Structure 1
Amino acid sequence: MKTSFCRFLFSAVAVSGMLLSGNIVSHSPFAISAAQAQTTYTTPQLSQWLETTGNKMVAVVNSDVSAKEKKAKFLSVLNEDVDVDTIAKFCLGRFWRTATPDEQKKYLQLFHQVLINSITDRLGEYKGVSFNIGKTSKNADNKFTIETVLHRPKQPDVSIQWIISTESGQPKVVDIIGENASLSVTQRGDYTSFIARHGNSVSALIDALQRQISRHP
C-alpha cells in the first residue's frame, strides 16, 4: 500500500515553508489567530497566511531540539493549519460511510500518525529550499487556490497549487495539486483499491496502517 499523499504533503507543505530562508515572521500583520477567526478573507490575507504557516514549519525544521520534540511541534502545526480529518475522510472515499464508528475513530488516529511519521522521517532532506507565492483565486466551491513555485537546490522547480478552505472560520489546507494531480485523490485511489482487494474491509486497511506504524523506528 502506498502513502504517496503523506510524502507529497511534506514535500509541498513543510518544504515550502522555507520562504524566508529561516527568517521567521512571528508577528506578521496578516497572521490569523483563532481569536481573529472569520468567515471571509481577502486574497492577500490568505497568501500571507500560507507564508506564515510555512514559516512556522521552518522554525521546526531548523531548530536544534530532539527528533521527539520536532515531531510534537510538527503535529501541532498540522493540527492547526491542515484539515487532516477532512483529508483522511476523503481518502477513505465511500468506505468512510460503511465503516463503523469505532473503525472511523481508529482510522483517523492512524492517519494522523502515519502522516506525522512520514513528515518527521524526511526533516533533514529539505534545507535550502525556498518558494514564491503566485496568484490566489476563488474556486466555484468557495475554496481558494494559491499557486506557488518550489525552488530546490540542484533540482528543477516544481509548481504546487494549495487548496484552502475557510469553512471552519479560519484557513485550512484541504488538498495540494502537484504535477497536475490532486494528492488527496491519488491517496484515495491507493486506499480504496487496497480495501477493495481485501473484501471491502476497512479493518484490513486499519491493520495495514497499524503494521506500518509498528515497524516505524
Structure 2
Amino acid sequence: MMPQLKRRTLCATVFAAAALSVIGGAAQGAPGVRDPGAEQFVQIGAQRVITVLADNRMSESQKAAVFHRAIDDLADVPRITNFVLGKYARTITPAQRAQFAPTFRTYAESVYRNRISDYHGETLRVTGSTVRKPGDVIVATQVTGGQLSQPVVISWRVLGAGGAWKVVDVQFKGVWLAITQQQDFVSTIDNAHGDIDVLIAQLRRDAQQPAPR
C-alpha cells in the first residue's frame, strides 16, 4: 500500500516569494499597506468557520453540512482544486476531473477541520494584513478562547476586490496547506508514473483517517 499522503504541520515557511507566485503574481505590496475590505471578509468568514467547529450543539453530520456551506462562501474551491494538481492540471482528463473534484473537496475539508479543531478556539480576531499587490492580500488573525492557553496565529491568503474576496490558502504554524498539498499530490502522481487515478484513490482513503497531530 502506498504511504499516506504527507500532511506536514511544522516546517520552515514555504510561503516565500517564489512559492507564492505559483498561485498568483510574485510582486510584493508596499510595507505597511493594509486592505480593510480583505480584513473584514476574513473576520466574518473565518469567524463563521471557527464558530461552526466550536458549536457542540450540532451533531457531527449537521456540523459537516454547515462547515461545507461556510467553506463555499469563504474559499475559491474551484481555483484551489485546480491549483493543487500542479502540472497535472493540464493533463487530467474530464472523467478524472469529475472524480477528483469531489474527492479532493472531501479530503480537504477533513484536513482543514482537523487543523482548526485542534485549537478549540472560540474567537478569531484580525490583527493586520499585507497587500502583495492589488487584489492579493495576506490577512493575519489570532484565535483565542476555549481551551487555548495562548493565541494561535492563522494567516489567510485572499484574492479579489470589493465584495468578491475568496480565500485561496490558509497557513497554520508556518505551513500553507494548498501549497503543501500541491507538492504532495504532484509527488504522488510522479511516483505513480503520471497516473492521476492513484492520487484519487489515495485521497479517498486518507479522507477516512484522522489527521496526524
Q: TM-score, with normalisation over the residues of structure 1?
A: 0.70
Looking at structure 1, the residues matched to 135 and 112 of structure 2 have their Cα atoms a distance apart, in angstroms, of: 29
Partner Cα distance (1:48, 1:169) in 2 = 10
1:215, CA displacement in angstroms? Answer: 6.5
**2:168 is matched with which residue?**
174
Q: Alpha carbons of 1:45 and 1:73: their partners in 2 closer, same or farther (altered >3 Å)?
A: same
How many corresponding residue pairs? 182
Matches within 5 A, 1:35-184: 43-61=35-53, 62-120=55-113, 125-140=118-133, 142-151=135-144, 153=147, 157-166=151-160, 170-184=164-178
| Alignment correspondent of 1:200 | 194
Cα deviation for residue 107 of structure 1 reads 0.8
- Please list every run of 5 or more consecutive structure 2 residues that lacks an aligned counterpart in the other structure: 11-33
How many angstroms apart in 2 are the aligned matches of 1:215 and 1:149?
28
Query: AA paired with 2:141?
Result: T
| TM-aligned CA deviation for residue 164 of structure 1 | 0.5
The alpha carbon displacement at 1:53 in A equals 1.1
**1:2 matched residue in structure 2:** 5
- In the TM superposition, residue 166 of structure 1 has moved relative to its aligned partner by 1.2
**Residues 135-182 of structure 1 deviation map (CA, whole Å, 9 limit, x = unaligned):** 223213631111223447455644332110116961110012344443
Q: What do the CA deviations read for 1:81-130 (whole angstroms, capped 9, x no partner)?
A: 11122112111100111110111121111011112233455776443454
Residue from 180, 184, 187 that aligns with 1:190? 184
Distance 1:194 1:92 in 2: 10
Where does structure 1 lack aligned partners over 5 or more consecutive residues? 9-41
Judge conservation of contact 1:70–1:120 (CA < 8 Å) in 2.
no
| Matches of 1:167 and 1:204, distance apart in 2 | 37
Structure (1 or 2) with the greater helix fraction: 1
**Inter-partner Cα distance in structure 1 for 2:157 and 2:209:** 32
State yes or no: 1:209 paired with 2:203. yes
If asked which structure has higher relative contact order (CA below 8 Å, sep 6+), I would say: 2
8 A Cα contact 2:169 2:178, kept in partner: yes
Mean Cα displacement is larger for which, 204-213 or 186-195?
Answer: 204-213
**Superposition deviation, residue 214 in structure 1:** 5.9
Contact 2:52 2:63 in 1 (8 A): yes
Inter-CA distance 137–122: structure 2 relative to 1 (3 Å threshold): closer
